Structures are given as C-alpha cells and as structure tokens.
Amino acid sequence: MNHPTFTRRAVVGSLAAMSASAYTSLAFGARLAEPGDSAEASIRLGAQTNAWPIDPRSFDTFLAALSQIRETGYSGFETGFINLRSQAKSLPEARRKIEATGLKFIGVHIFLPEYDPQTNIAPRELYEPVAQMGAAIGAERLIFSGSPAVTPDEIKRKGDALNRAAAYAKPLGLKVAYHNHWPEYKYNGREIEALYAATDPALVWFLLDAGHAYRTGIDLPAFLRTHQQRITAIHFRDYKDQHQVPLGEGAFPLKAVAEVLKQTGWSGWAMNEEEREDGSKQGLAVIQPAFQALKGAFLA
C-alpha cells in the first residue's frame, strides 16, 4: 500500500488528541455492536481507497473518492488511518458525511513504514487512538499490517500482540483483522499458518490479500478451503508480467477463487485494491474495469 511519507513519531503525536475526541463521539451515537453477533448475509463488493490521490490534509479529497466508489457500484470501502487524521476534532460530522455516501465503512487500516520491533505490528500508543477514532467514525474493522515474523518467539509475540489489540477493540465494536503482504505467504504460507495458530479465533480475523499471496505461488483455492472461516475480507489485485494491472486483465485466478468461496458458503467483503509500482493514482480508470471483474466473478 502506498501512502504519503510520515514518521511513526509524527503519527503518534497527531493521533494522541483523537483519544478524547473519539470517546466523546462514542458517547453521542456510535453503535457499539459486538463483532460477530450477526454474520454477513452474502459476499459484498468493496474497494480500498489507495487508487485515489487523497490528500490527508483535505477531507474533501477523501469524500470525493468515496463518491466515485459509490457511483461505480461498490457497497463499501476501506481506507488508511492517515486519511482520517484531519478529522480528529470533528469526528461526529465526519461520520455523518461518510454515512451520507451510502457506503459501509469496512475498516480503517494501519500501515506503517516501520513497526514495533517487539511485536511486528503497530505500537499500542498508535492503534488505541486509531481504534477509538475508527469506532467513533463508523468503521467495522481495525485492520493491521505488519513486518515479517520468522522465529517461533517472533510469531508468539506478534500473535500475542494481535490478541491484545483485538481484546481492546472488541468493546468498541470493532473486529481486528490482520492484512498480509507477500512475505507471510512465502514458503507455502509458513508465517501465515503460524499466525492462525498463534491467535485467538474468537478475537482475531484475517484480511487475505489474495494478490500478494498469489505472487508467492501458494495454492489459493486450497488455502481458502482450509481457512475461509477466519477470513473476514479479501483484497483482490491482478498481475501481468509481474506488474499490477486492473483486476481481470492479468493472470490472477479470480473465477477459480470466487467459485471456491461460493462453494464453501463464505460471506464477507470481496475488495478491490488497485495499486501501481510507480505510485500513480489512477482512480476510475482502473477501478471501473476491476469492479466489472469482481461483479462478474461473484454476482453473476
């Protein structure tokens, strides 16, 4: 995922003020649902906002991206927390504007240039205010990326940290989901399999980035048959000659993956994530064909 350059210290500092604001917003109408109380009824289509040139200092650019997501036909969106930090002092109003788009707020994603070396995910002093903000602004999930964990001790510490984060987020009405990049699926998914075993299935879910996993050569249909119960959402992306292209225009086995998910009765969010190696933000030019590919695979 590509985001504007920032340091962890700057982010933590800018988010510290969100804690009180978020709790105030929760007191004025945020729904404190228990994650998992009711299963999602079907496979729904969503988009990550990474395809748009959002200025984190301008909430209007974020809302413009949501408008295009809705107009394209998607039902929900996911976004990086950095796109929301400008709203720290006006969370109730920001929530009203998001809800006015008619989109479900699938999740707020914490992606960093570097992670806590002790846990390989975001530090507690960052994810707690992000969770409070996410709950206040209507997000359904708190999504973590992380750095690779290799040794058994690293896996245990990473799993324990995800369990703690999920226990913190649960009373706020948020599911915690871990989002992979390609390293977790190397060596036939060794790390991701270990993380499944190291985390509490009652607390920690997974957001499978199927595109990253696909590039490692793992058998995605087989993995999904085994693990679909803990997958709350999936990122879809496509590649041709090792470069990302709009979903449906490359070699990713979209139809085979969709067929397995439908056969197993999986319900959750099938999300498109359109990123480019050069960092370009191509918006509707890549999102519209990708939506047609998702729609054809899941809703036909």
How many Å apart are CA 91 and CA 117, to the nearest integer? 31
Sign, CA torsion 92/98/100/104: negative
pLDDT, one tens digit per residue, over 126-169 is 999 999 999 999 999 999 999 999 999 999 999 999 999 999 99
Residue 242: pLDDT band (50, 70, 90) is confident
Query: What residues pair up with 78 in beta bridges, in sequence order?
Result: 48, 107
Sign, CA torsion 89/92/93/96: positive
How many Å apart are CA 65 and CA 81, to the nearest integer? 15
Number of residues assigned to the chain: 300
Burial of 47 (0-12, 13-18, 19+ CB in 10 A): buried
Could you tell me if 277 and 244 are in contact, meaning their C-beta atoms sit under 8 angstroms apart? yes
Domain ranges, ordered by start, for the chain: 8-27+43-298
Averaged pLDDT of the chain: 89
* Structure-token pair, residue 4: 């504007």
CB atoms under 10 Å from CB of 241, counted, come to: 7
pLDDT recorded at residue 39 = 37
pLDDT of 38 over the 60 cut: no
Could you tell me if 153 and 120 are in contact, meaning their C-beta atoms sit under 8 angstroms apart? no
How many Å apart are CA 283 and CA 101, to the nearest integer? 17
pLDDT recorded at residue 279 = 86
Nearest to 295 by CA among 44, 41, 102: 44
Residue 101: pLDDT band (50, 70, 90) is very high
What residues contact 71, with CB distance under 8 A and at least 6 apart?
none
pLDDT recorded at residue 17 = 53
How many Å apart are CA 273 and CA 236, to the nearest integer? 6
Fold for domain 8-27+43-298?
A: TIM Barrel (3.20.20)
DSSP code at position 45: E
pLDDT, one tens digit per residue, over 52-73 is 999 999 999 999 999 999 999 9
pLDDT recorded at residue 300 = 79
How many Å apart are CA 99 and CA 230, to the nearest integer? 27
Which of residues 107 and 42 earns the better pLDDT score?
Answer: 107
pLDDT, one tens digit per residue, over 159-218 is 999 999 999 999 999 999 999 999 999 999 999 999 999 999 999 999 999 999 999 999
Query: What pTM, to 2 d.p., does this model score?
Result: 0.89
Q: What's the angle, vertex CA 171, arms to CA 165 and CA 177, rounded to 5?
A: 40
What mean pLDDT do residues 77-88 have? 96
pLDDT recorded at residue 7 = 53
* Structure-token pair, residue 54: 């959002």
What mean pLDDT do residues 221-226 have? 96
Give the three-class secondary structure for 231: strand
pLDDT recorded at residue 43 = 96
Percent of the chain with pLDDT over 70: 86
Q: What's the angle, vertex CA 38, arms to CA 36 and CA 43, rounded to 5?
A: 95
What DSSP element (H or E) covers 6? Answer: none
Nearest to 48 by CA among 210, 264, 162, 243: 210
